[in-house]
Amino acid sequence: MVNSAAMIGGGAAALAVAILVAVLAMQGMSVEPATEPVEPVAEQVETTQEAESRHSQLSLVEIFEMSEAGVVRITVQKNETISEPGSVGSGIVFSKMGHIVTNAHVVENANKTEVTFLDGKSYKAEIVGTDMHTDLAVVRVDADPDLLIPLQIGDSGTLRVGEGVAAIGNPFGLSGSMTSGIVSQLDRRLPVEETGFSIPDVIQTDAAINPGNSGGPLLNMRGEVIGVNTAITTSTGQFAGVGFAIPSQTVAKIVPALIADGRYDHPWIGVSGTDISPALADALNLTDTRGFLIIAVVDDSPASKAGLIGSNQTIQHDGQDYTVGGDIIIAVDDIEIREISDILLHLQRSKAVGDEMRLQLLRDGEIVETTLVLEKRPDRFD
């Protein structure tokens, strides 16, 4: 499951990309699943279509009334001991074929899964596929077709910070609850304890997300699903104004593969490293802070086969030790790399296992170009 202590620990850690990814930590805080026990971005020019779309916003009442039937309650028994409490999450009706989208951590280790619709009818569900790397899962029910009312999937790529959003789900088991807020920030990275990787491109919101909301929709003001609620940052275990949702662009890419194959194979490079901070740039005598410094290259990985070089020495600068000497990735497929997020987003949105990826590297002060072939990411990296 998406868990707390391993997600955000007590100090800054080197980023391990998925390329392996770990996350810079926030002292005393944790990121927890919302499951109930039973450089500045360039200014964007808005198109006419986008402007018209934004003017067609609905009221919260209208959004709730058009969406509530497409949100279900998911009850999971995770062991064979009936006396043990199960857990409650939420789900989104995805298709008329009975497919329900939820979080992987909601149905993880489930022995029995049940879906309850708005009218109170419940159906046994089978798990079709799960992807811990994005915390997404699909279950299927053989339900009355009249109950299967799919929600419309929107485009999270058009979101802007400050836009209104609404969350519907089952917080604390309270079915059909709605909260509202705004998009607080975009392109967050959410670590997953079970995999050692992080989920890129995550939406941050202040719409209240509590235990039981996991797997439910985050909706824009047109009633479209632009995210799947998955976790909160908290020091108390309860909502503190910082919630996270998997973006609909990720859902649209991963879910069809889960329905078809039961899994999604993520591409990876096979390096770990760190962004170029101002202090590190100064230590390396670099003129700017763009790029990602490779600290280590995984044996027999795409990076290893392509000859990428990890750091091999330690220097001291202003009283701080730095591991250096590795390649600095400054561009992939002609996309300038300012930080690791740029690589992660490119892999998530545009690449697949078996694709070639061109890299531009800074090596010993010289620009070097190479090409590697992306391979399947391992289930876990420690």
% of residues, the chain, pLDDT over 90: 73
Rounded to 5 degrees, φ, ψ at 67 are: -115, -25
% of residues, the chain, pLDDT over 70: 84
Q: Which CATH number fits domain 267-376: 1.10.3720.10, 2.40.37.10, 2.30.42.10, 2.80.10.50?
A: 2.30.42.10
Is the predicted pLDDT of residue 63 greater than 90, yes or no? yes
H or E segment to which residue 168 belongs: strand 164-169
3-state secondary structure of 125: strand
Is the predicted pLDDT of residue 35 greater than 60, yes or no? no
The domains of the chain are located at 15-65+158-190+202-247, 267-376
Q: Confidence band (pLDDT; 50, 70, 90) for 319?
A: confident
Q: Confidence band (pLDDT; 50, 70, 90) for 241?
A: confident
Is the predicted pLDDT of residue 18 greater than 50, yes or no? no
What pLDDT is attached to residue 168? 98
Is the predicted pLDDT of residue 172 greater than 80, yes or no? yes
Q: Confidence band (pLDDT; 50, 70, 90) for 232?
A: confident
Is the predicted pLDDT of residue 228 greater than 90, yes or no? yes
Window from 40-49, 56-65, 75-84, 328-337 with minimum mean pLDDT: 40-49
Cα gap 49→222, rounded to integer Å: 14
Residue 112 neighbours by CB under 8 Å, 6+ apart: 76, 77, 86, 124
Is 92 in contact with 100 (CB distance < 8 Å)?
A: yes
Cα gap 253→338, rounded to integer Å: 25
Rounded to 5 degrees, φ, ψ at 371 are: -130, 135
- Which DSSP symbol is given to 69? G
Window from 266-275, 300-309, 315-324 with minimum mean pLDDT: 315-324
Is the predicted pLDDT of residue 42 greater than 80, yes or no? no
| Strands (E) located in 47-121 | 71-77, 87-93, 99-102, 112-116
State mean pLDDT over 225-237.
Answer: 87
Give bridge partners of residue 245 from the DSSP assignment.
203, 229
Q: Confidence band (pLDDT; 50, 70, 90) for 177?
A: very high
Cα gap 68→289, rounded to integer Å: 47
Angle at CA of residue 247, ends 90 and 256, nearest 5°: 75
Cα gap 355→239, rounded to integer Å: 40
3-state secondary structure of 229: strand
Q: Which residue has the higher pLDDT, 192 or 218?
A: 218
- For residue range 102-111, what is the model confidence (pLDDT) as tens digits? 999 999 999 9
Cα gap 98→3, rounded to integer Å: 29
Average pLDDT, the chain: 87
**pTM, full prediction:** 0.83
Is the predicted pLDDT of residue 27 greater than 70, yes or no? no
Catalytic residues, which ones?
105, 135, 214
Q: Confidence band (pLDDT; 50, 70, 90) for 79?
A: confident
Cα gap 382→367, rounded to integer Å: 31
What pLDDT is attached to residue 11? 31
Cα gap 175→79, rounded to integer Å: 23
Class of domain 15-65+158-190+202-247: mainly beta
What pLDDT is attached to residue 270? 96
State mean pLDDT over 218-232.
Answer: 96
93-115: buried (b, 16+ CB within 10 Å) or exposed (e) per residue? Answer: bbeeebbbbbbbbbbbebeebbb
What pLDDT is attached to residue 190? 92
What is the Cα 143 distance to its own chain's centre? 29
User: How many Cβ atoms from other residues are within 10 Å of residue 338's Cβ?
Assistant: 17
What pLDDT is attached to residue 10? 30
What pLDDT is attached to residue 13? 34
